[in-house]
């Protein structure tokens, strides 16, 4: 049977209703978006490392699932499943919950405050993806932008499967709209990473998925990764081997589309998402041993993301079940064992690429003729960026990247916690594609951060060694004048 026609529950709408009915009454208003009160958008997040685990979280369950999983496992990254149409060209959480829902906003903010972040996934096996609900590129672009801005996202996932995968008009609209948004956000100093989640066989993607990706390339859409759903093949097999075989085949296929990328870059363009435990095709069971096999393969080859369907199933079943259970895996495991296994991949620098050879590199000089310096040449996240006597060390060697970042010691000049208030300190941090790391050199010498609307400023003003740099309202003052490499 063709892969795209395999049955995929991902919880049918009816089964979602059953699951929601089992949620405690205290959470019911949140699930139904019934609070009625407008809430602020989610706080900015820190972004993602080069390799990470981001399990899919069922948004028809309680938002506390995010916090509970983080507290139990320490895993910081999750994928929200799903944002879908509310019946019009408008995206809501699970199609019926406000994007500003207090429960989800709080859960996201808590995770981000602990250094984590979320990806919003559009589509899935049920409901209507926005590219099918919106009939023009302009309206689709606006609908995506509303979700991205409300949830303060730097990364989104498009889960396209079944009938929508063959809707070439919708696929073309989607790729045009997302390419336009990437350009728009880049002009504002922000990054939008776009992931595609697609069905696969152990032999690789089918032609409809390849057509979608080729169309994305034709619109100059920068696809961050292709995440393959290594599940529901239709026959019993070793699911760990099937997942690694599919990943190997995908590596070859991606190289035939993005022909200038190196082998390492192609591996880093991959994600892999099995359905843990018993699959919808119940003769297929993805075990904890299969998870260890896949994590080891991913770590060895440099795969960017591991995920799985779904967080609410990452526990053993307490009793009997029929088919693929929705609230447990159906295989022998401890609580959160799949999350704990996959999170081992997390780490490394960020996906933000290093500046290309030839990018301007050298000292940044400012107030009192001092140099912008990384304190003690320490590359740890959070290290102070300060003024210091110019000394020719690597702690004072800054590269001006084409994406607006200023990079030293392999990291980026960053506004602490993406703050926007006067006096927010500047630090060194993993490059993460957020607006807190973008700087624009003005004709008067100021370094403007567009996201905050503030300028890089020497505190005081003082030119003493160790003077901490901060952001402050742009004033064209001497302590805000900087000479950068050119």
Please indicate, yes or no, if residue 254 is contained in any of the structural domains: yes
Residue 15 domain-assigned (yes or no): yes
Measuring CA to CA, which residue among 81, 56, 48, 67 is closest to residue 154?
48
Q: What is the extent of the structural domain holding 392?
A: 361-480
Q: Same domain for 86 and 158?
A: yes
409 with 439, same domain: the answer is yes
Please tell me whether residues 256 and 365 are part of one structural domain: no
The residues with which 306 forms a beta bridge, in sequence order, are: 53, 272
Closest to 137 measured CA to CA, from 163, 172, 102, 168: 172
Helices and strands, number each (H, E), in the chain: 12, 24
The answer to whether residue 485 is domain-embedded is no
Shared domain for 262 and 123, answered yes or no, is yes
Instruction: Give the pLDDT of the chain (486 residues) as one tens digit per residue.
Output: 222 223 333 333 222 332 333 333 233 223 223 333 334 489 988 888 889 999 999 999 999 999 999 999 999 999 999 999 999 999 999 999 999 999 999 999 999 999 899 999 999 998 999 999 999 999 999 999 999 999 999 999 999 999 999 999 999 999 999 999 999 988 777 789 999 999 999 999 999 999 999 999 999 999 999 999 999 999 999 999 999 999 999 999 999 999 988 898 899 999 999 999 999 999 999 999 999 999 999 999 999 999 999 999 999 999 888 899 999 999 999 999 999 999 999 975 444 445 666 789 999 999 999 999 999 888 877 889 999 999 999 899 999 988 899 999 888 999 987 788 899 999 998 787 778 899 999 999 999 999 889 999 999 999 999 999 999 999 999 999 999 998
H-only helix segments in 274-371: 288-301, 337-342
User: Of 46, 42, 45, 111, nearest to 73 (Cα)?
Assistant: 111
Residues noted as catalytic: 161
CATH number at residue 74: 3.20.20.80
417: left (phi over 0), alpha (psi -120 to 50) or beta: left
Q: Do 410 and 397 touch, CB atoms closer than 8 A? A: no
Q: What pLDDT, on a 0 to 100 scale, did the predictor assign at position 90? A: 98
- The number of domains in the chain is 2
Residue 280 lies in a domain: yes
Query: Under DSSP, is residue 478 helix (H, G, I), strand (E, B) or coil?
Result: helix
Q: What is the distance of C-alpha 254 from the center of its chain?
A: 20
Is 209 among the domain residues? yes
Same domain, 346 and 365: no
> Which phi and psi (to 5°) does residue 58 adopt?
-75, 110
Shared-domain flag, residues 92 and 213: yes
Q: Is residue 356 a part of any domain in this protein?
A: no
Tell me which residue of 6, 29, 52, 75 sits closest to 273, measured CA to CA: 52
Let me know whether 186 and 211 are in one domain: yes
Of 282, 317, 350, which residue is a domain's last? 350
Q: Of 350, 375, 396, which marks where a domain is finished?
A: 350
Q: Are residues 24 and 73 in the same domain?
A: yes
User: In the listed set 323, 350, 377, which residue is the last one of a domain according to the structure?
Assistant: 350
CATH number at residue 474: 2.80.10.50
């Amino acid at each position: 049977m063709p892969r795209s026609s395999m049955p995929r529950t991902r919880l049918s709408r009816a089964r979602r209703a059953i699951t929601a009915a089992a949620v405690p009454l205290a959470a019911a208003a949140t699930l139904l978006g019934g609070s009625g009160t407008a809430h602020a958008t989610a706080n900015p997040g820190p972004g993602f490392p080069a390799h990470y685990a981001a399990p899919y979280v069922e948004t028809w369950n309680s938002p506390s699932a995010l916090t509970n999983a983080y507290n139990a496992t320490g895993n910081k990254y999750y994928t929200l499943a799903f944002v879908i149409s509310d019946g019009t060209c408008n995206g809501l959480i699970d199609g019926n919950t406000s994007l500003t829902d207090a429960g989800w906003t709080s859960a996201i903010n808590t995770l981000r405050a602990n250094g984590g972040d979320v990806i919003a996934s559009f589509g899935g096996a049920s409901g209507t993806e926005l590219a099918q609900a919106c009939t023009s590129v302009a309206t689709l672009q606006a609908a995506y932008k509303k979700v991205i801005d409300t949830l303060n996202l730097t990364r989104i996932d498009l889960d396209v499967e079944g009938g929508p995968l063959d809707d070439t008009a919708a696929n073309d609209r989607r790729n045009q709209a997302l390419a336009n948004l990437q350009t728009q956000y880049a002009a504002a100093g922000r990054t939008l990473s776009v992931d595609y989640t697609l069905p696969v066989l152990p032999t690789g993607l089918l032609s409809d998925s390849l057509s979608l990706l080729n169309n994305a390339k034709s619109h100059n859409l920068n696809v961050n990764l292709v995440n393959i759903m290594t599940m529901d093949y239709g026959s019993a097999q070793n699911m760990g081997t099937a997942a690694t075989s599919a990943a190997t085949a995908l590596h070859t296929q991606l190289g035939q589309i993005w022909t200038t990328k190196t082998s390492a870059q192609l591996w880093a363009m991959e994600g892999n998402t099995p359905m843990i435990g018993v699959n919808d095709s119940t003769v297929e069971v993805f075990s904890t041993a299969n998870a260890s096999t896949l994590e080891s393969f991913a770590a060895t080859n440099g795969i960017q993301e591991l995920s799985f369907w779904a967080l609410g199933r990452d526990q053993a079943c307490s009793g009997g079940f029929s088919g693929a259970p929705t609230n447990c895996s159906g295989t022998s495991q401890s609580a959160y064992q799949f999350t704990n296994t996959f999170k081992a991949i997390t780490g490394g620098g960020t996906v933000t690429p290093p500046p290309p050879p030839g990018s301007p590199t050298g000292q940044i000089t400012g107030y009192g003729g001092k140099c912008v310096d990384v304190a003690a040449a320490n590359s740890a996240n959070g290290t102070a960026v300060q003024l210091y006597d110019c000394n020719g060390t690597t702690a004072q060697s800054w590269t001006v990247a084409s994406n607006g970042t200023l990079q030293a010691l392999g990291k980026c000049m960053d506004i602490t916690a993406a703050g926007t208030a006067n006096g927010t300190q500047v630090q060194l941090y993993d490059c993460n594609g957020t607006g807190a790391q973008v700087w624009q050199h003005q004709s008067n010498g100021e370094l403007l951060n567009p996201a905050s609307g503030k300028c890089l400023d020497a505190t005081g003003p003082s030119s003493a060694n160790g003077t901490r740099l901060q952001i402050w309202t742009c004033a064209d003052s001497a302590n805000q004048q900087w000479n950068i490499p050119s």
